[in-house]
Copies of this chain bind each other. A is one copy, B any other.
Amino acid sequence: MIDEKILEVLRGGKDSYVSGEELCKIAGISRAAIWKHMEKLRHEGYDIEASPHLGYRLISIPDSLIPSEIKWGLKTTVLGREVISYKKVDSTNDIAYALAEKGIKEGSVILADEQLKGKGRQGRVWVSPPKGGIYMSCVLRPEMAPAEIPKITLLAAVAVAKAIRQLTGLDAMIKWPNDILINDNKVCGILTEMKAEQDSIVFLIVGIGINVNTPIKNLPKGASSLRQELRARGMAENVSRVELARKVLEALEEHYIMLREKGFGPIIEEWKTMSAMVGAQIKVVLPNRTFDGLVHDIDSDGSLVIRLNSGMLQKVSSGDVVMVR
């Protein structure tokens, strides 16, 4: 809390110095304590200049997924009000799940720079190398039936795709049910997990992995990063992970409220505009069989409606789909 107060004052000072005396007064601590906090902030990556006579000046802030940065200027009321950040974890979803079982409040967010056992759907791995990714798990406690979980997954895909589009201008597309592609390359995956009783969700974890500035050589085949996709378009720039994480949280909250107030209709409409699925020829891979068909629609429960070659419509609520050209 004191760190955040100090940062707020330094940011407010823009490029000019803030005296140690002033900082002491605002933070309500001693000069020596201010010094210690400055050391801690420098350790977190803040470049803070100290001048004996003038005081302190903020030179640069780190693109680090630490709570004070995520929360800075975050326009949400619930999501991201509680942020816990790690350098390295097995899985942010597992941590969020365990904390949710202990009662951590709705909107809490677990972030990590690296995951050793990042999880994908159906027991798969989500490759989560350090230096450039966002690995983020949000705890939600919606008053919903378990059957409604696909709605949250689709909602999250819409939120992430919109955040990426807004920040980078890249044409992020959604692939049912939970991937975000750019130019057919996967840049983001979403894994929703929940604990539920027979008729109500107890809590829900929305896990989001985004390859932001991740070196492409550390990613599996078919995967890409936002930086890589920008580079391919002649825009060789790093994307601010902090800014993207904030935008994702804001978009998530906006659509989460939308779902509660207006139902799933508007979200599914947005989903369709950002998905190249409807009308596409696909192959559906289920555990025990595969079949081909044309995507006819997305159902109001989030499942895919497929027109089989026989003309019949078939609903698919799980499994993998492969786009066929």
Interface residues of A (CB under 8 A from B): 121-122, 143, 145-147, 149-150, 152-153, 177-178, 191-200, 202, 287, 301, 317-319
Contact between chains at B121 and A197 (CB < 8 Å): yes
Q: Which residue of B lies closest to A144 (CB)?
A: B318
- Interface pair B197/A191, CB less than 8 Å apart: yes
Known contacts A143-B287, A287-B143, A196 near B122 by CB under 8 Å: no
List the B residue with the shortest CB-CB distance to A288: B143
Q: Is the interface of A mostly helix, strand, loop or mixed?
A: mixed
28 A-B residue pairings within 8 Å (CB atoms): A121-B197, A121-B199, A143-B287, A145-B317, A145-B318, A146-B146, A146-B149, A146-B196, A147-B147, A147-B317, A149-B198, A150-B198, A152-B198, A153-B198, A177-B198, A191-B197, A191-B198, A193-B195, A193-B196, A193-B197, A193-B198, A193-B202, A194-B195, A194-B196, A195-B195, A199-B318, A199-B319, A200-B318
Are B318's CB and A196's CB within 8 A? Answer: no
**Contact present for B194 and A150 (CB under 8 Å):** no
The reply to whether B194 and A122 contact each other, CB–CB distance below 8 Å, is no
Within the complex, what minimum Cβ distance (angstroms) separates A145 from chain B? 5
Contact of A121 among B191, B194, B198 (CB under 8 A): B198
The chain B residue with its CB closest to the CB of A146 is B146
**Chain B residue with Cβ nearest A178:** B198
How far apart are the CA atoms of A287 and B144 in the complex, in Å? Answer: 11
The 5 closest A-B pairs by CB, nearest first: A199-B318, A147-B147, A192-B198, A153-B198, A146-B146
Q: Which residues of B contact A145 (CB under 8 A)?
A: 317-318
CA gap between A187 and B146 in the complex, in Å: 27
A197: nearest chain-B partner, CB-CB: B193
Q: Contact between B287 and A199 (Cβ–Cβ < 8 Å)?
A: no
A154's nearest neighbour on chain B, judged by CB, is B198
* A152 (CB) vs chain B CBs: closest residue: B198
Q: How far is the CA of A117 from the CA of B193 in the complex (A)?
A: 26
CB-CB nearest in chain B for A153: B198
Q: How many Å lie between the Cα of A149 and that of B195 in the bound state?
A: 12
* Most B-side CB within 10 Å, residue of A143, A196, A199, A301: A199
CA distance A199 to B315 in the complex (A): 13
Name which residue of chain B comes closest to A319, CB basis: B199
Chain B contacts for A301, CB-based, 8 A: 147
Q: Which residues of chain B have C-beta atoms less than 8 A from A121's C-beta?
A: 197-199
A41 and B105 CA atoms in complex are apart in Å by 48
Nearest residue, chain B, Cβ from A206 = B198
Q: Which residues of B contact A194 (CB under 8 A)?
A: 146, 195-196
- B-side contacts of A147, CB under 8 Å: 146-147, 301, 317
Bound Cα distance A204, B177 (Å): 23
Contact across chains for A196 and B199 when beta carbons are under 8 A apart:
no
Complex Cα gap A152–B318 (Å): 19
The CA-CA distance from A145 to B147 in the complex, in Å, is 8
